[in-house]
Amino acid sequence: MNRRAFTLTSLAAIAAAGPAVATERFTFPSIDGGDYDLAVWRGRPILVVNTASLCGFTDQYADLQRLQDTYQDRAIVLAVPSDDFAQELADNAAVAEFCEMQYGLTLPLTTIQSVRGPGAHPFYRWLARDHGFVPQWNFNKVLLDQAGQPVQTWGSGPNPMGRRIRGALDGLLAA
């Protein structure tokens, strides 16, 4: 399933689940065109990960896809490519091709975004301002609960399919 079909399937599932209350609303441009609106995914946990194609942690892409495949419509994994640490490819087309060819990614993937400082995407500015979280490197992870609020953050090290992240997701889904 491609990312666009994934998004349409996700939209239908959320609409069926009913409305959820949110305090903030963020959209990210999709690397395939269009936008990802986090509010559309409310009602499900969302793992947001700042990524980079040339990082030593890039192999985590495979486990991010496995995590998305494992949780399917119960949770979302959103990859946010960033060149803030000078380890991303030159443009969105190169990132999209790399992710598809090397990892077969179908999970939602945004365009290249800044995740630190005053030029950061509004989502990351909100995380820094209201929740004290600023990515310190690539593949930092933020878990949002079903209402879109951050409940846990991790640095680059924890594996997306590892006990810590899956345990946190399972805990949210069981609540």
Beta bridge partners of 81: 51
Contacts of 5 (CB under 8 A, 6+ apart): none
Judge whether 40 and 15 are in contact, CB under 8 Å. Answer: no
Give the whole-angstrom CA distance, residue 53 versus residue 56. Answer: 9
Catalytic-labelled residue, pool 55, 75, 99, 127:
55
DSSP of 47-63, one letter per residue?
Answer: EEEEE-TTSTTTTHHHH
Question: For residue 20, which of 142, 149, 127 has the smallest C-alpha distance?
Answer: 149
Work out whether strand 46-51 and strand 150-154 pair parallel, antiparallel, or are unpaired: unpaired
| Residues 6 or more apart in contact with residue 31 via CB below 8 angstroms | 3, 81, 92, 95, 96, 109, 110, 111
Residue 55: active-site member: yes
Catalytic residues: 55
